[in-house]
Structure 1
């Protein structure tokens, strides 16, 4: 009995040791596999922070995001239920910056320009990220399916895409906005409808090229399901060009949304949205109240330029041949 117990204990100890060795081996293999990727990531970060354009773009982006994050502290809303409604004193004409405690002065009907800039940062970030995120998801799914399966599915998806691309994007967004309610969510919906198509075409082209690679053929040979091949092997390797496109599009969406509000297809007057503030302030701008347009206009410029510089820098890093 004692011999059996000792044998059992010895066997358990050996089994535990083997498990420990197995875990150690797996960890070592994982570390060896991840080391090149970590080195590549470290090198990419080095290239990013040695690119002056990228650094400047990141500074602009962090500035806007910092203002948006601190909005409830640096510009407390008078009405917690409607924080995006700019407070006003119904004063006419607008007050210049620094007058009566208004840091950036007042605009139409005495709206606080400083408050509109601060809370408008949140509006712009919310609009841009949501439009780009939803559009990217739709375009990614449709483009990947079209490029991978081909045939009738590809023809159907691409013909629908061509119909949307045939229409001027701003005109289509205006048409959609005109039949919807005048709020920020209507702008988002209108922009998503016109913004998904470039992503679909981009991903389709990437998928069509990558699906012919050797590792995809190997996955097919061992009997992997098509869905697994598509979303496990093909799509992840198609995302690199998408990163640059997404970064550039965040600024482009912000500019387009501001344009819609400027020409009257966006939010109502008095809402904390930079394009609307420029539209409301242009009447007073020509009469000498420059701050009603300059401050919101500079905010749009900083946000769009930040993502434009970052996107250009990422493109140069990821594809040196794209440098001009």
Structure 2
């Protein structure tokens, strides 16, 4: 209770909490804040007065309030719906990563011995692999699998028409995000390592030994005693990872390695206008500053919240 009061007594923690809640609020109320176009749903909406020859970004006005990107795309609408996409992506990657990493680390520590050493060497191997190389590799493998799967489904007479096979391929492309899978594959290791260290010590404590002596099953020991008493550092990592994953997604989208980040796509769409005609760097500021600020504030909010959670669970700070 004392640590909770200390958490709310620091303005940095309040700022992080307010920023995170603001993005959650915008994501939940996106259909109300900026209603979607039923004829053309998605984060990018063209203004009604769009003309095919209209490629110059328009400055902010009453509608649209933040101007347009090249092609007359509404910046405000993309920011609002991009918030929902970013929050969902960050939470999906972080939750999946945390669950897998925690279970991997707990099982390795509980079993112990040579198997624990082997599993931790697997963690080291994944830590040594460059994530950007993993993104390129998984993207190429995934596209190869999709293309081959479409051919096998048709040639193997699963479907009698090419259109039916193509519909399955398009469904896979829509519902399976290779970047999400890649980030999960190369981001679970910190959770596994820190939980493994804590559980290795925790399993030798008296209350765990007493539970084992009373006949508690391995599953009960893991889920009832070991994970609940060692999971607090994972909350700290997870809070910081949400913002980091969204920034990584936008980065990979910007450099052309996939990811479908709305905010990253906004930067791609407007990068030719960062320095406008005549060399004015801020002449078309609305094509890059709103998306850049959204990414920065999103990351700062989650990092500040992670720092606050770290203080909340810090046993040394609790004793001070």
TM norm. shorter chain > 0.5 = yes
Provide the rounded CA distance (Å) in 1 between the counterparts of 2:136 and 2:57. Answer: 30
Superposition map of 1:151-300 within 5 A: 151-180=113-142, 185-267=177-259, 273-287=262-276, 288-300=283-295
| 2:112 aligns with one of 150, 154, 160 | 150
Does the residue aligned with 1:291 lie in a helix, a strand or coil? helix
- For 2:300, the equivalent position in structure 1 comes to 305
Q: CA deviation at 1:219?
A: 1.3
Provide the rounded CA distance (Å) in 1 between the counterparts of 2:284 and 2:117. Answer: 55
For the 8 Å contact 1:174–1:260, the answer to whether it is kept is no
Closer/same/farther in 2, CA of residues 267 and 166 from structure 1, 3 Å limit: closer
- For 1:53, the equivalent position in structure 2 comes to 12
| 1:95 aligns with one of 39, 58, 63 | 58
Instruction: Pick the structure with more helix per residue.
Output: 1
- For 2:38, the equivalent position in structure 1 comes to 79
Provide the rounded CA distance (Å) in 2 between the counterparts of 1:59 and 1:98. Answer: 28
Q: Which is higher, the Rg of structure 1 or of structure 2?
A: 1
Provide the rounded CA distance (Å) in 1 between the counterparts of 2:67 and 2:135. Answer: 33
For the 8 Å contact 2:27–2:81, the answer to whether it is kept is yes
Q: CA deviation at 1:273?
A: 0.9
TM-score (norm 1): 0.79
The unaligned stretches of length 5 or more in structure 2 are 144-172, 277-282
- For 1:29, the equivalent position in structure 2 comes to none
Instruction: Show CA shifts across 1:25-74 (max 9, x none).
Output: xxxxxxxxxxxxxxx3xx34322211111100111111111111111112
Q: CA deviation at 1:203?
A: 1.1
Higher relative contact order (CA 8 A, sep 6+): 2
- For 1:314, the equivalent position in structure 2 comes to 309
Provide the rounded CA distance (Å) in 2 between the counterparts of 1:244 and 1:292. Answer: 34
| 1:126 aligns with one of 84, 88, 95 | 88
Q: CA deviation at 1:84?
A: 3.2
Provide the rounded CA distance (Å) in 2 between the counterparts of 1:174 and 1:56. Answer: 36
Provide the rounded CA distance (Å) in 1 between the counterparts of 2:85 and 2:39. Answer: 16
For the 8 Å contact 2:7–2:311, the answer to whether it is kept is no
Count of aligned pairs: 278
For the 8 Å contact 2:4–2:312, the answer to whether it is kept is no
Closer/same/farther in 2, CA of residues 166 and 96 from structure 1, 3 Å limit: same
Q: CA RMSD in A?
A: 2.3
Q: CA deviation at 1:143?
A: 0.7
Does the residue aligned with 1:195 lie in a helix, a strand or coil? coil
| 1:117 aligns with one of 73, 76, 79 | 79
For the 8 Å contact 1:146–1:153, the answer to whether it is kept is yes
For the 8 Å contact 1:104–1:113, the answer to whether it is kept is yes
Provide the rounded CA distance (Å) in 1 between the counterparts of 2:5 and 2:139. Answer: 43
Provide the rounded CA distance (Å) in 1 between the counterparts of 2:259 and 2:90. Answer: 15
Does the residue aligned with 1:97 lie in a helix, a strand or coil? coil
Provide the rounded CA distance (Å) in 1 between the counterparts of 2:39 and 2:120. Answer: 46
For the 8 Å contact 1:173–1:194, the answer to whether it is kept is no
Does the residue aligned with 1:109 lie in a helix, a strand or coil? coil
Q: CA deviation at 1:115?
A: 0.7
Mean alpha-carbon deviation: is it higher for 273-282 or for 152-161?
152-161
For the 8 Å contact 1:274–1:296, the answer to whether it is kept is yes
| 2:22 aligns with one of 57, 63, 66 | 63
TM-score (norm 2): 0.80
Provide the rounded CA distance (Å) in 2 between the counterparts of 1:178 and 1:274. Answer: 24
